[in-house]
Structure 1
Amino acid sequence: MLFSSEDQLNNDEQQGFWQSVTQSTLEKDNVSLAYAYIKHADNSKAIVISSGRVESYLKYKELMFDLYQHGYSLYIIDHRGQGLSSRMTDNPHQGHIDNFQTYIDDLNDFIEKVVKPKSHKDLYLVGHSMGGTIGTLYMEQFPATFNAAVFSAPMYGIKLPFKKTFIRSLASLLDTCTDKQPNKQPNYVLGGTDYEPVEFTKNHLTSSKARYQQILDVFQQNPHIQLGSPTNHWLIEAMDAADRAIKAAALSIKPIMVLQAMDDAIVDNAAQNRAENERCQIRRINNCQHEVFIEADEARNHALRTLITFLEQH
């Protein structure tokens, strides 16, 4: 299987591909949800992508290009509160959600109103990090939609500096989004800040300097998609959702493949391991940090070969 190379990023072929991608919005309850899609001439099989925290579909051009070359139509949504979708707070840099279920409801609306009307024969789900949590819980609630799913570095647990119970208690104590303070704006987690670009030598996401720089360029060229730290309320919701996702993945009636980044410093691989069984398989990718799809070619190609082979089996 051939995939794009970090030595030839954003080449003429990829730029031409992106010109064929449709970008639009789904309006819902005074919230605008941005999305992008491209239908393949074959039209029989399609992938829905659920992206991670802070991400936008603008970050997924290379992945969409590669998957399209292997015969898939592609659909991707920017989750509310990030990317090109509406923000939930007065400060547009805060990563916030009222209830994690809202992400799942949005994904369901996107699938029902945008994806299903295109009448594909086979539907598959691909999710990264937080998008893997959203996708796993979606499959629990709507098991008939997808043939199978592949989740890269899914957030089934978050790497934390202290015990989870302590962090959750602290976030709950500091959280301004409570019934007792109904009109107060959400607040950052302790030490949280607005968006600040991190130089490559200090990043914990990828070992590919070229792909990392390209992502920094995307955020620099599109400042409206920049997002900073999460709020305390997001952290509480995310931690609880991650716990639920472990059980949902382990009990899934549809096959799941987890692409586990062995050098992940963002999510907890031990939490992913607790979901592993015949239905929820794990492929461990060596020399791979959290951003599986923007890693160096060797790790990324391994992950993409695993993804496509797995989907082709279902």
Structure 2
Amino acid sequence: MNFVSIPGNPCPDGAATGMIQTPDGVTLRFARWASPDDGKEEVKGTVCVFTGRSEFIEKYFETVRDLQQRGFAVTVLDWRGQGHSSRQLPDPRKGHVANFRDFEIDVETFMRLVVLPDCPPPYFALAHSMGGAVMLRAAHSGRRWFERMVLAAPLIDLPQPRASWPLRILMRILRLVGFGNSYVPGSNVDRARASGFPGNPLTTDPGRYARNAALLAQDPALGIGSPTVAWLDAAFDTMVEFDAADYPMRIVAPVLMVAAGTDRIVSEAAIEQFAARLPAGSYLAIEGARHEILQEADLYRAQFWAAFDAFVPGAPMRTAPEGPPRASI
């Protein structure tokens, strides 16, 4: 399967890609890249990249190169309903899932069929937004594939008033009366109301914003529109679970949670509070950054990668902090 590769976003050399099928019949697209140090005695391991809602493999080519430069093998997954994986409804624009447990099936299949047989250990997870929520769910359920996890702007809760209980109740009612497959009322169904770069909540970097828009212009089938009622209802269920006092205590892997200081998509406060309750949790806020930290300006990305390098074994300039950092940059 060919990737969408544009001059401003070339596919890293040596990509191996394919399709795998989950036990419930969903076809998932994946890609993997070997470490530049492949074949040497000291292998740093593999970083598994898990994207956010509506994202796709091509959007993370720059991240793949960043990780390869650090000596890691890299592999990336298109979630069900996204990228070039199977869509869940006849209308391919709808971002839909019935339950976030379905994403855990994707991870289980990906690990069993791609990562464990074909990628060098140890394994580390790098996840963004919705992908971060799925990683926490998987770790909570006892999956211990990853030595460490780095979560960029993970979906722990939504900012007020988007996280309000009236909205949560409305989504549940709409789903119960048969509107689960419908778009969330009032949402930007076909992205027609996108205003372009000025005022966007994702990144302060105009070049990377334009690059990502160009990928979708080249292959519109990569993108999706707004979430369905069922997706948002399932997301609210996960947020309620995260809020339970004992939920983080079952996550034993070390986790670095990096928040964007001006995030308007997810709640920075909820990320900090969740990290504080983890047995091996670290927290960092990058002031001035917007939601998509890995797609941000170099000023903010440099701060993210410095934290990654200090936290992930085998990365450059690794330090050994005495305790979990909780300061903001």
Q: 1:249 to 1:39 in 2, by over 3 A?
A: farther
Residues 33 and 74 in structure 2, CA contact (< 8 A), matched pair in contact too: yes
Residues 73 and 119, structure 2, Cα contact 8 Å, conserved in 1? no
**Deviations 1:124-155, CA, capped at 9 Å, x for gaps:** 01110000000111112234211010000000
Query: Which segments of structure 1 move beyond 6 Å, counting only runs of 4 or more?
Result: none
Determine which of 173, 186, 191 is the counterpart of 1:191.
186
Query: How many angstroms apart in 2 are the aligned matches of 1:130 and 1:121?
Result: 25
| Larger fraction in helix | 1
Paired position in structure 1 for 2:312: 311
Aligned letter for 1:291? E
Q: Measure the CA separation in 2 of the matches of 1:53 and 1:245.
A: 18
- Residue 148 of structure 1 is matched in structure 2 by 148
Q: Give the TM-score taking structure 2 as reference length.
A: 0.85
DSSP 3-state at the match of 1:19: coil
User: Post-superposition shift, 1:246?
Assistant: 5.3
Aligned mates of 1:145, 1:243 — CA distance in 2: 25
Contact 1:194 1:229 in 2 (8 A): yes
The two structures have a TM-score, normalised by structure 1, of 0.89
2:30 alignment partner AA: Y
Q: Cα distance, 1:232 vs. partner? A: 0.8
Q: Which residue of 2 aligns with 1:35?
A: 30
- Residue in 2 aligned with 1:4? none
Change (3 A) 1:291 1:122: same
Structure 2 stretches lacking a partner, 5+ long:
1-5, 321-329
SS in 1 for 2:256: strand
Shift of 1:41: 4.3
Matched residue, 1:63: 63
How much has 1:250 moved relative to structure 2?
Answer: 5.1
Residues 163-182 of structure 1: pairs in structure 2 closer than 5 A: 164-175=164-175, 178=176, 181=178
2:3 match: none
Q: Equivalent residue for 2:301?
A: 300
- Look up the SS of the partner of 1:23 in the other structure: strand
Distance 1:263 1:249 in 2: 25
1:159/1:265 contact within 8 Å kept: yes
Which of the residues 237, 240, 244 maps onto 1:240? 237
Greater mean alpha carbon deviation, residues 245-254 or residues 197-206: 245-254
Q: Distance in 1 between matches of 2:183 and 2:75?
A: 31
Q: Say if 1:250 and 1:279, in contact at 8 Å, map to a contact too.
A: no
Q: Give CA deviations for 1:143-178 in whole Å, capped at 9, x if unaligned.
A: 421101000000000124355211111112222xx4
What residue number does 1:85 align with?
85
Q: Could you list the per-position Cα deviations for residues 253-304 of structure 1 after superposition, in whole angstroms to 9, with x for gaps in the alignment?
A: 1110011100000001121122123611111101100010011101111101
The alignment partner of 1:105 has SS state of: helix
Distance change >3 Å, CA 141–CA 265, structure 1 → 2: same
- What residue identity is the alignment partner of 2:165? T
Q: Any stretches of 5+ residues in structure 1 without a counterpart? A: 1-8
State the secondary structure of the residue aligned to 1:206.
Answer: coil
